[in-house]
């Protein structure tokens, strides 16, 4: 029964391009009118048909990880691109739509993010090991969207450009107190202290990140001007001239946006500036990927602008600038995947093949989300005063260098 439903479902889905399916018994069937976009899969386990029909996103990712479904030439990109492009013009079965609507409706319960859950969710992803992330990130270990002023830039150059762009938006002056919410391995905090003379407090919930961030600050002689803490941002109660948060809002969760932006407003001095950098949807809200939630980012959610705007408005903060970065993250993720594959032998020293397939699938699905779906990166510049920053964007581009070379 489920194989028949699967065939009807795929026939409806593939309206352009071609998908060739080889069944467990060796029989092959082709779906779609043909074209330049093609993919071929081999379903090894007939029990998989039910999952592909009822929870296609979760079942596809799990089946690839477990090799119950293999892809010809291991072309994950070709398969996912074929599915995503057809998803715009095809209608999924009613039961799949109902399941997605139900998960979305339950989002405020699923994404409740108490301090205890937040620590657990962060540990799941960020405490894998610092050495693992070194294998594919840039030298500064920036695990967020880079800024490609030129597509030919190296990953290192683009990540430096990202930090410079953010520092310009923060309009930092020497001696300012800066809070870095979700400081990662410390690269942004170190940049702001070393190159702009700021005094930075960085907070994280990852013990692995904290240890390396402190080590890196000490190596550069910045321990007296950078204070890295293992603490939830909600527990901070000090005033800051500047607040920066890069790639952390995705972990806040739907029920907590008002709490988040209210906290930013409470911690920001009257003349202060905050810069919030987050993945976002340039389309209506939708349920998060079941597979991503289960295996990569438990508790994570990519918000639409319509979900963030009310919380910002109610916080009383001015949204003095909103920039939408398109395709920058796709380029970043392609660099990460290329480096991951280059270092695959080193990855195998500490992780099994199932983990490797999981991460290749994750990185591929993510860059395709930015290339094929309405996913981008938002940078919100927030202030208490409308005149806390210049009234044109000229200041962002006339001076690209740091305001000072060393912290005091």
Q: Which string of DSSP letters, residue by residue, matches 280-330?
A: EESSS--PPPHHHHHHT-TT----BHHHHHHHHHHHT-EEEEEEEE-SHHH
pLDDT of residue 362: 96
> What's the residue count for the chain?
408
Asked if residue 198 lies in contact with residue 192, where contact means CB atoms within 8 angstroms, the answer is: yes
Q: With contact defined as beta carbons under 8 Å apart, do 40 and 71 qualify?
A: yes
Does the annotation count 366 as an active-site position?
yes
pLDDT of residue 193: 98
Ranges of H-type helices in 135-186: 155-170
Question: DSSP letter at 287?
Answer: P
pLDDT at 100: 57
How confident is the model at residue 104, as a pLDDT?
47
Residue 257 is encoded by which pair of tokens? 């946006």
How remote is the C-alpha of 312 from its chain's centroid?
A: 21
pLDDT tens-digit map of 169-203: 999 999 999 999 999 999 999 999 999 999 999 99
Catalytic residue among 53, 145, 183, 366: 366
- What confidence score (pLDDT) does residue 95 get? 47
Burial class (CB in 10 A: 0-12, 13-18, 19+), 355: middle
Interatomic CA distance for residues 21 and 39, integer angstroms: 9
pLDDT at 96: 57
Sheet with 268-281: strands ordered across = 226-230, 199-204, 177-181, 240-246, 268-281, 375-383, 318-325
The residues, any chain, with a CB within 8 Å of residue 175's CB and separated by 6 or more, are 197, 198, 199, 408
pLDDT score at 407: 40
- CB count in 10 Å sphere of residue 311: 18
Q: What integer pLDDT is reported at residue 151 of this predicted model?
A: 94
Which pLDDT belongs to residue 300? 85
234, 205 in Cβ contact below 8 A? no
How far apart (Å, rounded) are the C-alpha atoms in residues 285 and 288? 9
Query: What's the predicted TM-score (pTM) here?
Result: 0.91
Non-local (6+) Cβ contacts of 343 within 8 A are 135, 136
Contact 21, 10 (CB under 8 A): yes
CB 63 within 8 A of CB 49: no
The dihedral through the CA atoms of 335, 338, 342, 343 has a sign that is positive
Q: Residues in the chain with pLDDT < 50?
A: 95, 98, 104, 405-408
**Alpha carbons 365 and 362: distance in angstroms, whole number:** 5
Please tell me the predicted confidence (pLDDT) of residue 87.
80
């Amino acid at each position: 029964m489920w194989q028949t439903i699967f065939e009807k479902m795929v026939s409806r889905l593939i309206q352009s391009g071609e998908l060739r399916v080889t069944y467990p018994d060796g029989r092959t069937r082709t779906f779609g009118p043909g074209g330049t976009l093609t993919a071929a899969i081999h379903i090894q386990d007939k029990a998989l048909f039910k999952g592909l029909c009822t929870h296609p996103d979760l079942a596809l990712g799990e089946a690839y990880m477990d090799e119950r479904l293999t892809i010809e030439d291991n072309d994950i990109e070709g398969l996912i691109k074929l599915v995503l492009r057809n998803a715009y013009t095809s209608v999924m079965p009613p039961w799949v739509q109902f399941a997605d609507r139900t998960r979305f409706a339950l989002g405020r319960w699923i994404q409740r993010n108490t301090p205890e859950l937040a620590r657990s969710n962060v540990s799941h992803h960020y405490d894998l090991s610092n050495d693992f992330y070194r294998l594919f990130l840039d030298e500064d270990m920036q695990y967020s969207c880079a800024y490609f002023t030129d597509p030919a830039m190296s990953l290192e150059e683009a990540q430096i450009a990202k930090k410079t762009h953010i520092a310009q938006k923060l309009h930092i002056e020497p001696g300012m107190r800066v809070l870095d919410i979700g400081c990662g391995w410390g690269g942004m905090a170190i940049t702001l202290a070393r190159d702009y003379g700021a005094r930075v407090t960085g907070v994280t919930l990852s013990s692995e990140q904290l240890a390396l961030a402190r080590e890196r600050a000490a190596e550069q002689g910045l321990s007296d001007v950078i204070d890295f803490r293992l603490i939830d941002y909600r527990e901070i109660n000090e005033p800051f001239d500047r607040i920066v948060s890069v790639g952390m809002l995705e972990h806040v969760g739907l029920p907590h946006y008002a709490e988040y932006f209210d906290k930013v407003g409470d911690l920001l001095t009257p003349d202060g500036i905050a810069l919030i950098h987050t993945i976002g949807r340039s389309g209506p809200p939708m349920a998060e990927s079941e597979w991503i939630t289960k295996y990569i980012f438990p508790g994570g959610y990519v918000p639409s602008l319509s979900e963030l705007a009310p919380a910002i408005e109610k916080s009383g903060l001015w949204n003095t600038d909103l920039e939408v970065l398109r395709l920058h993250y796709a380029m970043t993720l392609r660099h990460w995947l290329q480096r991951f594959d280059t270092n695959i032998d080193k990855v195998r020293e500490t992780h099994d093949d199932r983990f490797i397939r999981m991460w290749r699938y994750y990185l591929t699905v993510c860059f395709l989300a930015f290339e094929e779906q309405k996913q981008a990166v938002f940078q919100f510049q927030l202030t208490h005063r409308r005149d806390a920053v210049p009234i044109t964007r000229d200041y962002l581009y006339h001076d690209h260098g740091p305001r000072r070379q060393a912290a005091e």
